[in-house]
A and B are shown apart, each in its own frame.
Chain A
Amino acid sequence: MRNFSQENIKINNNSSEQAMNFNKKIEFQILLKVFLAFISIYSIVEIFHQKATIGLFPKEVVYQVLGDPLNFIPAKDFIDIATLLHIRLFILNIIFLILLSSLNKIVKYQKYVYPYLINFYLFAIFEVIFLLSLRYLSTIFVYPYLVSFVFLQLSILSLSLFLIKKL
């Protein structure tokens, strides 16, 4: 029994060593670099997508979210906003997980992970809260909503470029 468990430990050690070596291999680094390049392109494209759908300036966002009663354009329903957040939160969550685990693996100083972790999730929550506040409370929340959106996209871009540089 003891021999069997010792063999198991040896096998596990070998496989973990192989995994560690694979991380240092050039193929893995190229794969990760290309992937991170795609994420950085996504963060730029998302800004243009936002410009085309909801808008990047306060007037455009207020018009899209609250509508225009004079021209009989209705405001966005709760279900429209929920669908928007449903898609956005899914994409952000996956990107955060991948970027933060890559950061944890690549960078030697582990203290980098916490600021990015707090920054990412805090601004994602802010985006949700301010969009709902804009719809149901006041138009003043359009400014913090846009700031949190732009800040989030820029932090995704900065982290992916930083990781590409560090690899």
Chain B
Amino acid sequence: MNYKNISLVSAIFIIFSLIQVLISSVIYFYKIGFSYLNVSQYFIVNNNLISAVTILKVLSPHFLSQILVVFILSHLLQFSKVYKKKVINRVVVCLFFFTFFNIIAVFVVRFFLFGFFYIKTIAFLGFMFFYFLSSIMILKSFFNLSQSRTVTNLKK
């Protein structure tokens, strides 16, 4: 198995998933928004609260897809030799926590903490921050790996 190819495939996967996440943040901005008023308008449609069925329609595909991508990212992060294991583990834990929090935030605000609309915004921004952080960490690790390999090849 060629590890150079695998790292290249993984790096392009990460760049492509970053493009995908950028598109999803544009969708978030259009559909929900970041201000208190915009988020409240997402929960209250025509003087009626958003229904559980509408929430579930958005929630169920995201549960599978987000956890799958986050699992791949955290798995790739484990191969990194640039950062300490402690740092990697903390980033992975935060990534999983904010992914789960981001998915269930709509449900929590609608049924348990109605009025605390900033919870959704905090969850989304936290998820975005750790997603970008872990992606950049993986890309940096791949870059350092390829650089170190070329240096050793030159020394030989």
Contact = CB atoms under 8 A, between A and B. Distances in A.
Contacts of B26: 82
- Where chain A touches its partner, the secondary structure class is helix
A94 interface: yes
Contacts of A113: 2, 5, 9
B2 A110 contact: yes
Given A79-B30, A124-B16, A104 B5 contact: yes
B5 A93 contact: no
A12 interface: no
A146 interface: no
Given A79-B27, A79-B31, A86-B20, A97 B2 contact: no
Interface in A82-116: 82-83, 85-86, 89-90, 93-94, 96-97, 100-101, 104-105, 110, 113-114
Contacts of B37: none
Given A90-B65, A105-B1, A124-B16, A97 B27 contact: no
- Identify whether the interface residues of B are mostly helix, strand, loop, or mixed: helix
Contacts of B17: 93
B20 A97 contact: no
Given A79-B27, A82-B26, A89-B16, A104 B68 contact: no
Nearest to B10: A97
A121 interface: yes
Interface of B: 1-2, 5-6, 8-10, 12-13, 16-17, 19-20, 23-24, 26-27, 30-31, 65, 68-69, 72
Interface of A: 78-79, 82-83, 85-86, 89-90, 93-94, 96-97, 100-101, 104-105, 110, 113-114, 117, 121, 124
16 contacts: A78-B30, A82-B26, A82-B27, A86-B20, A86-B23, A86-B24, A86-B27, A89-B16, A89-B20, A90-B65, A94-B69, A97-B10, A97-B13, A105-B1, A113-B5, A117-B9
